[in-house]
Amino acid sequence: MNSFDYASSLAFDALSSLREKSSGPLPRASRASLERLIAAKAAPTVATPSSASPGSKAERLEALRLQLVACEKCPQLVAARSHVVFGVGNPEARLMFVGEAPGADEDLQGEPFVGKAGQLLTKIIEAMGFARSEVYIANVLKCRPDMPPGATGNRKPRPDEMATCLPYLIQQIEIIEPKCLVALGATAMEGLLGEPVVMREVRGRWHSFKGIPLMATYHPAYLLRNQSLGEKRKVWEDMLQVLEKLEVPISAKQRGFFLPK
């Protein structure tokens, strides 16, 4: 059977099927249509990779980071920022810390928690038995909140700013799939939950975010302002609960941190 007869046979079969299913007029197949049919049948089938095919967690985070650095959803933050502060750490981390927003140091370096509060957070992480590189650290808001001209310090991010940026954090969490989340401060909890919280009422007990256990504790900056052993002990008790949730062995020395001697 030559190619034209073969295509005619295919068309006849298709028209016969239509006749059985329809009482109206049937379409007509031209020679051009039959030739296209021949070409389609003869062409090899090529499997094309899906754009949704997942890569490694590191590759997916990098793709998200590239998307985020081009974000201009908050024009006032875009105009004031030096860097988008995406996140840092192990893409396979079991533990993820979430802060509220970058400060001046973070904005300049493009990395979260690198100032004095970040140095204290690193000490807390190390006291838990982890290296900073083993966990993942990110903020709800990825750009430093803009300040009025001439003003110094940092301002609290607005709820609408955090709500705009939250989907990026959710994607980070979905990629990393941590076993535990730690929210550092009331504003971080507010950004995650979408409602104001009172820190003394939420810290020290388990919450849930997207099905992941979430522990709220004080921000390291709070401990820099409040140097009492009692306040430090509260944060450490929260971290002991995190270690227990992760099923990490806790030494007697770790249990004794900040206890009266």
Amino acid 159: pLDDT: 95
Give yes or no: residues 223 and 144 share one domain. yes
CATH number of residue 108's parent domain: 3.40.470.10
Assess if residue 261 is contained within a domain. Answer: no
Say whether 189 sits in a helix, a strand or coil: helix
Structure confidence by residue, pLDDT tens digits, 10-37: 444 544 444 454 444 444 444 444 444 4
CB 83 within 8 A of CB 108: yes
- Return d(Cα 174, Cα 61) in angstroms, integer: 10
Q: Which two tokens stand for residue 246?
A: 């992760």
What is the H or E stretch that residue 208 is in? Answer: strand 206-209
Is 49 a domain residue? no
pLDDT at 34: 43
pLDDT at 149: 84
* Half-sphere CA count of 105, side-chain side, radius 13 A: 8
Cβ contacts of 184 within 8 Å, gap of 6 or more? 97, 98, 99, 100, 121, 217, 218, 219, 220
Characterize the bridge pairing of strands 88-89 and 136-139.
Answer: antiparallel
Residues 6+ apart with CB under 8 A from 86: 64, 65, 68, 69, 110, 138, 142
Determine the Cα–Cα distance for residues 197 and 219; give it in Å rounded to an integer: 14
Tokens of 5: 């007869």
Banded pLDDT at 54 (limits 50, 70, 90) = low
For residues 189 and 98, membership in a common domain is answered with yes
Question: What is the DSSP code (8-state) at residue 115?
Answer: S
Residue 259 pLDDT level (bands cut at 50, 70, 90): confident
64 with 98, same domain? yes
* pTM of the predicted structure, to 2 decimals: 0.79
Residue 16 and residue 82 share a domain:
no
Q: Are residues 232 and 163 part of one domain? A: yes
Percentage of the residues of the chain whose pLDDT score is greater than 70: 79
Residue closest to 187 by CA, chosen among 164, 159, 227, 165: 159
Number of domains in the chain: 2
Does residue 29 sit in the same domain as residue 157?
Answer: no
pLDDT tens figures, 218-241: 999 999 999 899 999 999 999 999
Confidence band (pLDDT; 50, 70, 90) for 153?
confident
- Do residue 101 and residue 18 come from a single domain? no
Least confident range of 23-37, 48-62, 97-111, 239-253: 23-37
Note whether 218 and 235 are within 8 A (CB): yes
Report if residue 167 sits inside a domain: yes
Q: In terms of domains, do 143 and 15 share one?
A: no
Give the span between the Cα atoms of 178 and 55, in whole angstroms. 18
Same domain for 32 and 128, yes or no, is: no
The tally of CA atoms less than 13 A away on the side-chain side of residue 227 is: 0
Q: Are residues 125 and 13 both part of a single domain?
A: no
Task: Determine the straight-line distance between the first and last CA of the chain, rounded to whole angstroms.
Answer: 97
CA nearest to 185, candidates 143, 212, 147, 225: 225
Residue 42 has pLDDT above 50, yes or no: no
| Structural domain span for residue 22 | 3-42
Domain-embedded: residue 177: yes
Per DSSP, the residues of 2-68 read: -HHHHHHHHHHHHHHHHHHH-SSPPP---HHHHHHHHHHHHSPP-PPPPTT----HHHHHHHHHHHH
- Co-location of 128 and 182 in the same domain: yes
